[in-house]
Amino acid sequence: MREIVSMRTPLYVGIVALLAALSLNAQEPLEWNPWNPDAGNEYNPVKGGSIRAIFSAEPDLLNKYIDNSAVTGYISDYIFDRLIVYDRELIEYTPGIAERWTEEDICYLKDGGKVIGMSEDRGETWALVKTDGSVEEFAKDAVERVDRKAAFTFYLVQNARFHDGKPLTSKDVKFTYDLVRNKHVDAASLRSYFEDLDVCEVIDDYTIRFELNKQYWDVKTAFHEMFIMPKHIFDPNDEMVTDPEGWGRKFNEHELHYKPIGSGRYKFKSWDRGVSVSFTRNDDWWGGTPGYLDQITIKFIPDRVAALQSLKNGEADFLPRMGSDQYMEQTDHPAFLANYCKGTYYYGNMSYIGWNTRKPPFDDVRVRQAMTMACFDRGQFLKEVLFGLGERVTGTQYIFGPAYDHDIEPLPYDPEWAEELLLEAGWFDRDGDGIRDKDGQAFEFTLLSYQVAATHPNRKMYAMMIENFQRLGIKMDVKEMEWATFLEFLYDRKFDACALGWATSPESDPYQLWHTSGAENRGSNHCGFGDAETDALIEESRRAVDPEKRRALLKELQRVIMDQQPYTMLFCIKDKGAYHRKYRGVKHYSLRPGYQLWEWYIPKELQ
């Protein structure tokens, strides 16, 4: 048995080494105040002051289980505690509400029994070393299988309290597990992480045990995704057990999704819809110093011109993401740089155009390949519109991570080849109106997009696509909508094509995005990709605890996806940001979101 307090598993040691070798984000090693050399590397944090950061999208709710947007996840990181946390600097899982944990194997016997412990293959027998140090040994022919790292016991901190003063215990962890598993809760996008966690047993108030029904290399992601919810608020009378459907409906509509109560570093203060969300430091946080800034405010400004102007006007302090033209041209002058530091940084992300493969014309792989080759010159767009601040991608794994296959080349920009594919698929202009058609259906479609500013590079991309498709006899319209509505259309599969992106971890499980189980029930496979063969490939990769074997499977899946083209893969873009020079303790990380505001502080003389 192995007990983890701050762990470096072989998997993540390998990732650390590989990311270091790849120079994960192609920037200098992590240091304080990387964009502000005048500040030096002093680190004398003091409490006080506030920060106003700008986000381009506003979430629909402040509950990560129902609104699985990046913004909700980011805000939740401040208000809620996780079972375990992912250290963005160490690139490993470290203690959260669980101050330590153990990982053990499960030995399934042919007589129906099972034994939990650390397994040893002793040739003709399997030996299981139990938590008390005792050893049980079994003949190989008595053993059905041994699942490695399939049992986890977490030992919680005993001084954690929710923001209303109530203690956080194992019952709250079990409740959080149960709500995600409740099929009547709108948590389809996260439920896939928990499907194989069959057993969740409360041992005592501060000890809880989970068992997998089969080994799974990325199970700690499920534990990391567990923002602990207060049972005493949402389910004081155990209604989830007596009436799971009725309780699920009530949970989906609960008022606390708009004013959450967690146990985290910061407490929810207010939400001015359409304007901002604010939270204040929780000085009673169980983990020591929660942060230094008294208040953090997230301002929602979807228009990138207005966002930059807000920063310049002193109405905001931190703009994590600005357009390439804004970064390269509009802020490169002494007046701006006198007050703000700016720089670029990668974090795991990729953008794409998704094609709804459920209906024509995008149910034909030849059409999807043609769309990718005719939409626009992606290499030229990256160079000229995005100022080269990014990389073209051919998969949803992080391009600087260990599971990405760099040998796979993007499809070329080749309208002539695209036309050949369209003709082969039976799409040509039969009635002379300039639009291709087949079986009485004109080749017309609508690209669904979230709202972007007039100067956003996506607008140029859409214009290029419209023009290039028109030359090819295809009519494309663009429909932009507010973020929450956009997501509802995706969840309900009411789209022809969509423009979107994913945030990615160093190495990610493709199940949520690509398994066919996520194609329905409002899951994340909104393009409807996959079949029995790709499902089997994904499922095999989930069981592969050996990194080399798993990454070979993930790269094979990447090749299949590139061949099938449910997405036109676009870019991994560098974020370009700026913050006021008064802030210290600033770091930028290669994992989303790229920074942690609870580390930032303002020297007393600058408050």
Q: What is the DSSP letter of 97?
A: S
Q: What is the DSSP letter of 452?
A: -
Q: What is the CATH number of the domain that holds 303?
A: 3.40.190.10
User: Could you say which of 201, 231, 258 is where a domain stops?
Assistant: 258
The whole-angstrom separation of Cα 528 and Cα 526 is 5
Percent pLDDT > 90 in the chain is 79
Percent pLDDT > 70 in the chain is 95
Residue 70 has pLDDT above 90, yes or no: no
* 420 and 535 within one domain: yes
Q: For the ranges 76-90, 145-159, 585-599, which has the lowest average pLDDT?
A: 585-599
* 305 and 198 within one domain: no
User: Structurally, how many domains does the chain consist of?
Assistant: 3
Residue 29 has pLDDT above 50, yes or no: no
Average pLDDT over residues 299-306: 93
Tell me whether residue 406 is in a domain: yes
Q: Are strands 349-355 and 92-95 parallel, antiparallel or unpaired?
A: unpaired
Nearest 10 degrees: Cα torsion 374, 537, 395, 443: 20
**28 neighbors 345 (Cβ within 8 angstroms):** no
* 466 and 353 within one domain: yes
Question: In which order are the strands placed within the sheet that holds 567-569?
Answer: 475-481, 444-450, 497-503, 349-355, 567-569
Tell me whether residue 72 is in a domain: no
* 443 and 327 within one domain: no
Mean pLDDT of the chain: 91
The whole-angstrom separation of Cα 183 and Cα 248 is 8
Say which amino acid occupies 28: E
pLDDT of residue 27: 38
Residue 25 has pLDDT above 50, yes or no: no
* 524 and 377 within one domain: yes
Tell me whether residue 25 is in a domain: no
* 7 and 134 within one domain: yes
User: Is residue 43 very low, low, confident or very high in pLDDT (cuts 50, 70, 90)?
Assistant: confident
Tell me whether residue 377 is in a domain: yes
User: Is residue 163 very low, low, confident or very high in pLDDT (cuts 50, 70, 90)?
Assistant: very high
* 591 and 535 within one domain: no
**97 neighbors 228 (Cβ within 8 angstroms):** yes
Residue 533 has pLDDT above 90, yes or no: yes
Question: Residue 101 in 3-state DSSP?
Answer: strand
Q: 103 lies in which domain range? A: 1-20+81-258
Q: What is the pLDDT of residues 436-449, one digit of tens each?
A: 999 999 999 999 99
Q: What is the pLDDT of residues 172-185, one digit of tens each?
A: 999 999 999 999 99
Q: What is the pLDDT of residues 443-469, one digit of tens each?
A: 999 999 998 878 889 999 999 999 999
Q: What is the CATH number of the domain that holds 233?
A: 3.90.76.10
* 602 and 550 within one domain: no
Q: Which of 482, 450, 485, 444 is nearest to 466 (CA)?
A: 444
Average pLDDT over residues 387-415: 95
Tokens coding 77 = 């990181």
**66 neighbors 79 (Cβ within 8 angstroms):** no
The whole-angstrom separation of Cα 565 and Cα 112 is 44
Query: Which residue has tokens 């160490």?
Result: 90
User: Could you say which of 207, 234, 258 is where a domain stops?
Assistant: 258
Q: What is the CATH number of the domain that holds 355?
A: 3.10.105.10
pTM > 0.85: yes or no: no
User: Is residue 30 very low, low, confident or very high in pLDDT (cuts 50, 70, 90)?
Assistant: low
User: Is residue 596 very low, low, confident or very high in pLDDT (cuts 50, 70, 90)?
Assistant: very high
Tell me whether residue 468 is in a domain: yes
Q: For the ranges 1-10, 227-236, 299-308, 524-533, which has the lowest average pLDDT?
A: 1-10
Query: Which residue has tokens 């809880």?
Result: 208
pLDDT of residue 2: 31
User: Could you say which of 201, 226, 258 is where a domain stops?
Assistant: 258
* 521 and 410 within one domain: yes
Q: What is the pLDDT of residues 73-84, one digit of tens each?
A: 999 999 999 999
pLDDT of residue 138: 93
Q: What is the pLDDT of residues 486-520, one digit of tens each?
A: 999 999 999 999 999 998 888 999 999 999 999 98
Average pLDDT over residues 405-425: 97
Average pLDDT over residues 584-607: 90
Q: Which of 102, 78, 90 is nearest to 287 (CA)?
A: 78
Hey, CA dihedral for 286, 288, 294, 298, is it positive or negative? Answer: negative
